[in-house]
Amino acid sequence: MVFTEKQSLLPSPGPVVEPPRWRYPWALAVQVLAFVLLIKASFALLDYLDENRYNDGLAVAQCPQVEPLVPVSSSQSLVKMDDYFTTSKFRNETIARMAGAIQIPSESYDDLGPVGEDKRWDTMYDLADYLENTFPLVHSKLKLEKVNTHGLLFTWQGSDEGLSPTVFMAHQDVVPVAESTVNQWTHPPYSGDYDGYYIWGRGSMDCKNNLIGILEAVELLVDAGFKPKRTVILSFGFDEEISGKEGAAKLADVLVDRYGKDGAAVIIDEGAGTTSVWGSTFANPGVGEKGYIDVEIIIRMPGGHSSVPPAHNGIGVMSELITLIEANPYEPHFHSDNPYLSMLHCGAAHSPEFPAKVKKLLPSWKEDSCATKDRLAQEVAREGEYVKYLFTTSVAADVISGGVKNNALPERTRVLVNHRVNVGDHPSDVQSKLTKLATQIAEKYNLTVQAFNDEPETPRSIKLNANVDTLEPAPVSPTSVDTVTPYSVLSGTTRGLYGVEVLMAPGMTTGNTDTRYYWDLTKHIFRFDPGWDSEQEGFDGIHTVDEKLSVIAHIKGVQWYSRFIRNMDEADLS
């Protein structure tokens, strides 16, 4: 076949067909919107299913709750004792006992001299005499040893020497009340006044409530004829507020020498309590503590007459360094062993008001990506400053001095910077960061840096010194409840007293306790204030004006101590 120029192999196009036109233009928009909403609903459903699967898993794997635990063994006298806690007679007596302890101003000062030489220690004699007169059965039935004069070590020997002892701790001392603040108190700080609900005074919450509560529990158990199988030890230091080197440190040495490494079953000391959060109530025994380091910074610069000052003297340069330190805070960060992660898992598993954003981020915390962990930490930090510092190294310039005369330039300026080191970090990280910041200032002002060495101070220098009390973060106590463990006994005792509506979750505190010296005695250390009153959650007035204690909380605390002693006595620990 022969083709001409006008012929083609393609078929004829036929009639032109125009695209369809929408008779109602808004109909297209409606369909698009419906499609978008369908997609969003699908993703929301997937998120909902994921979250519920996550919660189901957490409830078992991450935050198991033990059944309430009450002592099995009993007697007519013990039943009578349990009933006695609820009477007005006991209420009045415990108020009087607490008031008497508060009225003894057992203050600790940073500049105290050696025990036996500095007369300010002598107030501890008054407190010891008060305790002996107030708790005669404890003093007659338990063995009392006085360690380094004022440390009180009571031993209630159990009948089964094969059982490791239960150790209760508290400290006898309190922080001083500044004379300038006395008039700001609603009730005088050492009055022990009772207003019908609260007992007021320094030490009422930190921690003569624990000291008196433990002794009350033991006194009543002795009176009821209870004879423990498991030895009970009461170890009361007297200088916790100034780091415990004369009290708790010496007591711990005696106990470790006597019972050996890991020789105690459990330690209960002051610490975290019970709080309402996210629509639930959690008891949070502290299972860890942050580390600690004080850094002394000294700037040496030339002196001279103040009438011819240089552009920057030592005080100005130190101020610039402090400003630089504050402008470079530590960021929130979760390490895998931080106990507050367990609290978050418990909130996600059990609390109706747990933050949705945190719940969404929480499953990814185990990922290797630091960015993922930091996003979680930053989101949780929005809960508030106190929460943030449970997983953030804190930094605070607390003490500063410089200069000796109004017409003389300062030759030596000093500041003390306090740090509480995040779990998983180290004091050495603080030292490295401060060295870098000090170097920036030193280069600007032609100074040398002497960082954490034993060299003497030199002219025109910035010297950094670490305090001798530097402390690594504490080992984290085990919280398994798969078998009978000290934590399961603690948890069961708490839920047995307060009911199953109180949930258990591991916690921690931002400060340090005397337990720093007891790490070798047992792995099972719990820093817990067992008394709880929903009207007074948190630490009311600790270390400041108007410290006070709910009587309801105190009575509950005494009940808890008595039950825990009996529950530990019956526990078949793994």
Tokens representing 368 are 């290797």
Tokens representing 44 are 């929301």
Q: Which of 193, 206, 216, 240 is catalytic?
A: 240
The region, left, alpha or beta by phi > 0 then psi within -120 to 50, assigned to residue 127 is alpha
Alpha carbon distance 549, 209 (integer Å): 8
**Cα Dmax for the chain:** 131
Which residues are registered as beta bridge partners of 509? 289
Q: Which of 173, 216, 270, 569 is catalytic?
A: 173
Residue 281: DSSP 8-state: E
**Sign of the alpha-carbon torsion through 402, 112, 290, 358:** negative
Tokens representing 346 are 């418990």
Helix 208-223 with 88-102: angle, nearest 10 deg = 130
Distances (CA, A) of 84 to 57, 94, 262, 446: 43, 12, 36, 72
DSSP secondary structure string for all residues of 330-368: PPP---TT-HHHHHHHHHHHH-TT--HHHHHHGGGTTSS
Alpha carbon distance 356, 358 (integer Å): 5
Residue 11: DSSP 8-state: P
265 close to 276: Cβ distance less than 8 angstroms? no
| Whether residue 379 lies in the annotated active site | no
Tokens representing 281 are 């109530």
Alpha carbon distance 506, 526 (integer Å): 9
| Whether residue 240 lies in the annotated active site | yes
Collapse the DSSP code of 465 into the 3-class scheme (helix H, G, I; strand E, B; otherwise coil) and give the result.
Answer: strand
Alpha carbon distance 466, 293 (integer Å): 7
124 close to 106: Cβ distance less than 8 angstroms? yes
Please name which of 413, 123, 427, 404 lies closest in space to residue 294, comparing C-alpha atoms. 427
449 close to 435: Cβ distance less than 8 angstroms? yes
Collapse the DSSP code of 230 into the 3-class scheme (helix H, G, I; strand E, B; otherwise coil) and give the result.
Answer: coil
User: Active-site residues: which are they?
Assistant: 173, 240
